[in-house]
Copies of this chain bind each other. A is one copy, B any other.
């Protein structure tokens, strides 16, 4: 199989850093340290790809290497379709992945187009070239767990444990985030290779040979007053009910299997992984049907825990919807993690801000870590996060950092990084981006926009405006996707990445993009009537004519 890894160091293979950056980030998405199945161009999240096929990959690389500073490359579902004349402040790459006219927006129709070579699934950051490995999600998961402790356990998860499943690209962050938040974690995963990957990269502490051993490890950790994360090989659809039957009660229950994709993302109960891989190709409809039946079992067990008083949340993989479609009428009686824990952050434009050192040098990230602390001296929670991250998160591919900050801070950090590049304090430029799961960039009624105050969950004008505004503000690349996180039909979302290459032109763009992007999130939540967002908009002086009046 072909092995792709981003170039490192200060030498350009493209004509400028504005085109070198998407080139490196595309390649970095496929780095074997980063991607789940790099040979198939699969980055994470089921079949989330970085390019449609290897031919498209090669042509994108060639196009980026030769792209001039006033040109823009268009990418349609992972295929480079056109190069057009724009201008210096326009994005260098515009991306649209997996978008389907609503009446046809199903996995069935998508798969037909995928088989014909007309589409690919972009997930969120896979097809938009800003995936940074499991670390990209660690802080989001950590913040979620911390908030769980605040809401349900008097401020802390110390001495508690979380039951979950799925140790894939995103789900693999759970055990580490749990221990960072002071909790132990039991993660059920059906694929030995996924467990090995997380053990090797330090995301999970230990593998238990069976449930009994797992429980012993959890008990011992509790007794010793230090958290442990335990992986258990098994099928969540079988293990979750078994745990409930045994009378075991975790302190929190959730799940991050790829339930959003019934063909490729969820192993049906009673099947071996080999059988699954084989039948995915031969009989996808049968796989989907069996997987959804198992998801219903899985959700029934989650409902049992929920009714038993255990805080239980859907972790953004649409498993409640799948169970609902299988006849589990009360599937939505436990909440999603966004309305439960994250929305207050979104109201202030706080979300998964991230940056990546194109030099490949970890020192560059440590320097930016220090800069963040310097610029945000009063934020103890953030300092604590950065210290833990530096100590416990191993870099995958190009060194990167995630740091949930909001409107008013993001652009300050971006400008500071740009100055560091200008002054030679960093060895090469950095890219600054975020997940599509953010405050203003997504409409996803079973996840990010679940249970909005005004009922506007399904209104997708917002992410489209977010993408257009980032394009108008001078982001380096902008993307519009459908179906990320929760699968076909259930979401529309936008991504952006902007390069800090140390020039004054970049500074102007950074200031606009990193202000406007989170501001659209505050705007969207203010429009929905959240007082926190309205207060934030006023405090930051946003001009929102139809909202603030």
CB pair A516 B102 closer than 8 Å:
no
Q: Give the distance in Å from the alpha carbon of A80 to the alpha carbon of B542 in the complex.
A: 13
CB pair A472 B72 closer than 8 Å:
yes
CB pair B465 A76 closer than 8 Å:
yes
Within A36-57, which residues are at the interface with B (CB < 8 Å)?
55-56
Q: Give the distance in Å from the alpha carbon of A473 to the alpha carbon of B482 in the complex.
A: 24
Interface status of A100 (Cβ within 8 A of chain B)? yes
Interface status of A512 (Cβ within 8 A of chain B)? yes
Interface status of A269 (Cβ within 8 A of chain B)? no
CB pair B489 A103 closer than 8 Å:
yes
CB pair A468 B100 closer than 8 Å:
no
CB pair A99 B461 closer than 8 Å:
yes
Interface status of A456 (Cβ within 8 A of chain B)? yes
Stretch in contact with the other chain, from A111-119, A148-156, A242-250? A111-119
Stretch in contact with the other chain, from A85-93, A220-228, A275-283, A425-433? A85-93
Q: Which residues of B contact A77 (CB under 8 A)?
A: 459, 461
* Given A118-B459, A459-B113, A460-B101; A520-B469 close (CB under 8 Å): no
Interface status of A164 (Cβ within 8 A of chain B)? no
Q: Which of B59, B89, B461 lies in contact with A89, CB distance below 8 A?
A: B89
Contact with B along A95-134 (1 / 0, CB 8 A): 0111111111100010011001011000000000000000
Interface status of A478 (Cβ within 8 A of chain B)? yes
Contact with B along A322-335 (1 / 0, CB 8 A): 00000000000000
* Given A94-B465, A464-B480, A465-B76; A83-B512 close (CB under 8 Å): no
CB pair A81 B547 closer than 8 Å:
yes
CB pair A527 B478 closer than 8 Å:
no
Nearest CB on B from A363, distance (A): 34
Q: Which residues of B contact A216 (CB under 8 A)?
A: none
Nearest CB on B from A314, distance (A): 16
Interface status of A309 (Cβ within 8 A of chain B)? no
CB pair A109 B458 closer than 8 Å:
yes
Interface status of A338 (Cβ within 8 A of chain B)? no
Residue on B nearest A474 in the bound complex, by CB: B87
Interface status of A209 (Cβ within 8 A of chain B)? no
Nearest CB on B from A334, distance (A): 20
Q: Which of B85, B91, B473 lies in contact with A86, CB distance below 8 A?
A: B473
CB pair A468 B480 closer than 8 Å:
yes
CB pair B480 A101 closer than 8 Å:
no
Residue on B nearest A520 in the bound complex, by CB: B82
Q: Which of B82, B455, B519 lies in contact with A113, CB distance below 8 A?
A: B455
Interface status of A439 (Cβ within 8 A of chain B)? no
Nearest CB on B from A470, distance (A): 9
* Given A101-B490, A102-B489; A119-B459 close (CB under 8 Å): yes
* Given A94-B472, A101-B490, A102-B489; A116-B455 close (CB under 8 Å): yes
Q: Which residues of B contact A543 (CB under 8 A)?
A: 82-84
Within A470-528, which residues are at the interface with B (CB < 8 Å)?
471-474, 478, 480, 482, 488-492, 508, 512, 515-516, 519-520, 523, 527
Q: Give the distance in Å from the alpha carbon of A480 to the alpha carbon of B99 in the complex.
A: 13
Q: Give the distance in Å from the alpha carbon of A15 to the alpha carbon of B444 in the complex.
A: 38
Residue on B nearest A73 in the bound complex, by CB: B545
Interface status of A79 (Cβ within 8 A of chain B)? yes
Q: 28 A-B pairs, CB-CB below 8 angstroms?
A: A60-B545, A63-B545, A72-B472, A77-B459, A81-B527, A81-B547, A82-B523, A82-B544, A84-B512, A85-B473, A85-B516, A86-B516, A87-B89, A89-B90, A96-B464, A97-B461, A99-B492, A101-B444, A101-B445, A101-B492, A102-B482, A102-B490, A104-B458, A116-B454, A119-B459, A464-B467, A468-B478, A471-B472
Please provide the 9 A-B residue pairs with the shortest distance between their CB atoms, ordered closest to farther.
A102-B105, A104-B458, A102-B102, A96-B461, A90-B472, A83-B543, A103-B489, A99-B460, A96-B464
Interface residues of A (CB under 8 A from B): 55-56, 59-60, 62-63, 72-74, 76-77, 79-87, 89-91, 94, 96-105, 109, 112-113, 116, 118-119, 443-445, 454-462, 464-465, 467-469, 471-474, 478, 480, 482, 488-492, 508, 512, 515-516, 519-520, 523, 527, 542-547
